[in-house]
Each structure stands twice: as C-alpha cells, then as structure tokens.
Amino acid sequence: MKSIIEIDFKGVTPFVESGEIELWCEKALNSLNLLIEEGSNKSSPTDWIDLPTEDFTSIFKRFDSLKREWLSKGVEFVVSVGVGGSYQGARAFYEAFVDSFHTFDKREGLSLVFAGHTLSPLYLSELLQFLKKREFAVVVISKSGDTLESAVALNLLRGELQRRYGTEEEGRRIAAVTSIGKGALWEIAHKEGWHLYDIPKGVGGRFSLFTSAALLPLSLAGIDVKEIIRGAADGRALSLVRSIENGAVRYAAVRNLLYSKGKKIEVMAAYTPKLYFFLEWWRQLFGESEGKRGRAIFPTIACYTTDLHSLGQYLQEGERTIFETVLSFGEQSGKEIIERVEGNSSLPHYLEGVSIGKVNSIVKEGVAKAHIEGGLPLISIEGGLLREYNLGALAYLFQFSVALSAKLLGVDPFNQPGVEAYKRESLYLLKGEGE
C-alpha cells in the first residue's frame, strides 16, 4: 500500500550528519516493537491502535437515527461540550470541512457550536444569548464527567433546555459520550434517559478522535465520518509496518534527532486557516503526551501566510532552537484567476493571469527556501487534497508517531500528571470559595 501522506526530510539533512536519520529510525523501530508488545499485554492504554479496524456499522446507524430525530424537532445547532481530547478532534475536522462562513448563513442540516472548552463568562453568556433564538441540542463528551469546564457549560445549557422545553424534552435533546457504566456523566445520563455513546476503556481523551467523542458531533454536522475512518484504517496499516521507511517512525525519529541537537521548539504550520484547529489538535496531542519530567520539544503552531507577518522575522533570524514542520493539502477551490480591476494600478503585473492557489504555493516554496538557508530545519508533509480520508490518515499517523516519540524520550505518552496537578489546586481553591 502506498501512503497518501508523503513526508520529506530534505530540509533537515543540511543540519544532521550522514547516517544519523537512519540511526534514530532504528531507535524508533524499537519503540514501535515496545508499543505493540504493550498493546498485546494490555500493560498500557493502547486500544486506540486498533480502533479504525472495528465495525462501525451499528454505531453509524445510531448516529443517523439521532440526526433524523433532532432534525424532526427542528434542531438547527448542536452544542458540542468538551475540552482537550473531548473537543479538539471534532472541532479540527469540522472547521476543516465546513464552509468558512457557515455561521453567517443557514446551512442544510445541523451546525456545531462549541462549549466546555473555556470558563470565560463572556463566551458562555454570548453562547446562551445566541441559543435563545435558535433550536438546539447538546452532545456532552467526557470520560469521567467531572471535568470542570464541561460541567459548568453543561449546567448552563441544561438550565436553558429545561426553561424552554421542560425536563422530559430536555432529556431527548442531550447525548452523552462517556465511559459506559462508570463515572459521574454516565450515572446522570443513565438516570435521565439521555442518548448514550461509549468511549472505550483503553482509549485516553487525546487518542479518542476515532470514537464517538469526535465522530458523533461530526456525523450530526454532515462530515463524512466513514471516509475519516477509512483513511485512519489505511494510516494504521502503514504505521504498523516495521520499516525505517514508515512515515510515523521517521517523523518520530527525526524530531527527536533534532531535539538532541538543541532544537527545543517545533512550529507546526499550514498555509490555510481551514487547518487551524487541526494544528490545535496536534499541539494538544504532542504537548500533553510528551511534556513530562523536564523534557520534550515544545509544540507551537502557525497559520501562514498570516503568521509570517508576526513570526516571520523571528523564524528567519531568531534563536536557532526551532525547527519547522509544514503541512500542505491541496484545496479544491482557489483556482480563481487574478485579473486587474479597472483603475487598480497597484497590482503587480506578474500576478495577472495567475491563480490564487498558485500564488499561495509559490510563497510556500519561497518561505521554505529562505527558512532552510536561514538555519531552520524543515520537515514537509504533503497530504493530497484536503479531504476527510486524507486528514484521517494523517491524524492516525500523528497519534502513532507521538507514542513512538514519547518512548524515545523515555516518558509515558498516555498519562498527564501535570494536568491533574493544576486540577487539584483549582479544586482546593474553589472548595474554599464555596464554604
């Protein structure tokens, strides 16, 4: 099987010694063997590895049934409530494939809005005002059900649902995605008779993209979740190949090689705002999986060409502790030809007759050349056209690669003790306020 995802390391080779990439790829292969062994022994939460190979037929039918039910009630908006891995995946794929200006025009079917990812009182107040004039339902996503941000948002939304529809109808307008049979959210959803969907036990939040956590809200919004899973399944097959040519292996190896040479920051960039929230998803996946025990690459993101006018100077001539990874997907539009408008003498003559997509592509090539010559190692990832299948394949590759990368660092990719620390301190202070 040939990978649709092509990873090019030519922009890294000027900064490493001959043979170093292959040496680190062998180390990453050892991590792959260890990961598979742990999965076989169930000694770590690795059920996510095989998720794309499962039969989704019945769950997709349940998604379709819920969508029909809510549409029959006149529902226009679904509020997806979650934070971290319970939020990032759904938003990443939604924003990638929905029209950029969908909120300004009524679209056929259901639109998503998001809550539970912030405690901003202004955001939540504006959300409630927005929903007062619209028919809505709620999908709440949490393995435990006691995540602070999601609990606050759900409470506010339940109040609005009860005020408008009463308690019985409220229950028909809420779906919960959680660990079945366990946790606060399951208990209340089971008691109230909400629609219930499972997050498998051996799947952590940031690895839950290919579960109902993301697939349910995406399906309700009309995103092709079957193609996402098909892409992920092919991404899985390629990621499990025991070869130094494996893209997941090579990406994990090269970023750790660069880290060993003092490159402490990775800038993940894309040339379309459609991928901004996919970059956010990547940042959480790598930051929370690797950033432990005083080590790991700091993951940050940039959206070009916009951020070239804010970070461009630093990337070109700032401290040389950075490397760059650039995602490229072909956009199905952008073929509009630039033509001179009468009276517009400011348009350079060399732009006339050129497509906007071609301009974006040429700028990308020029930036890459300048950054490499300026001392910035660059990894290039080409994903074909921006379609659900291709992005699903890349998302799986990143999930697999971060597990390998974390093992190269000597840290557990599946826990988040630092997150639990801030939660404890916040809870202690909040309990003091309530006394």
Any catalytic annotation for residue 309? yes
For 253-284, the DSSP string reads HHHHHHHHTT--EEEEEESSGGGHHHHHHHHH
Quick check: 140 and 150 in contact, CB under 8 A? yes
Q: Report residue 379 as tokens.
A: 């990894």
d(CA 245, CA 8) in angstroms, rounded, equals 11
Contact criterion met (CB below 8 Å) for 146 and 153: no
Compute the distance between CA of residue 358 and CA of residue 380 in angstroms, rounded to an integer.
Answer: 18
Q: Which two tokens stand for residue 13?
A: 């080779």
Query: Tokens in use for 395?
Result: 């998302």
Is 288 marked active-site? yes
CA distance 187 to 178: 10
Residue 43 in contact with residue 401, Cβ under 8 Å? no
Give the burial class of 163: count Cβ atoms within 10 A of its Cβ; 0-12 exposed, 13-18 middle, 19 or more buried: exposed
Distance in angstroms (rounded) separating the CA atoms of residues 85 and 395: 13
- 388 catalytic? Reply is no
**Residue for token pair 């939304």:** 157
Distance (Å, rounded) from C-alpha 131 to C-alpha 156? 11
Of these residues, 170, 288, 290, 324, which one is catalytic? 288
Q: What is the DSSP letter of 87?
A: T
Q: Where are the beta strands (DSSP E) in 37-108?
A: 77-81
Which of the following is catalytic: 309, 319, 425, 431?
309
- What is d(CA 4, CA 395) in angstroms, rounded to the nearest whole number? 12
Query: How many C-beta neighbours within 10 Å does residue 11 have?
Result: 20
Contacts of residue 269, defined as CB under 8 A and 6 or more positions apart, other chains included, come to 279, 301, 302, 303, 304, 307, 324, 325, 326, 327
Catalytic (active-site) positions: 288, 309, 423
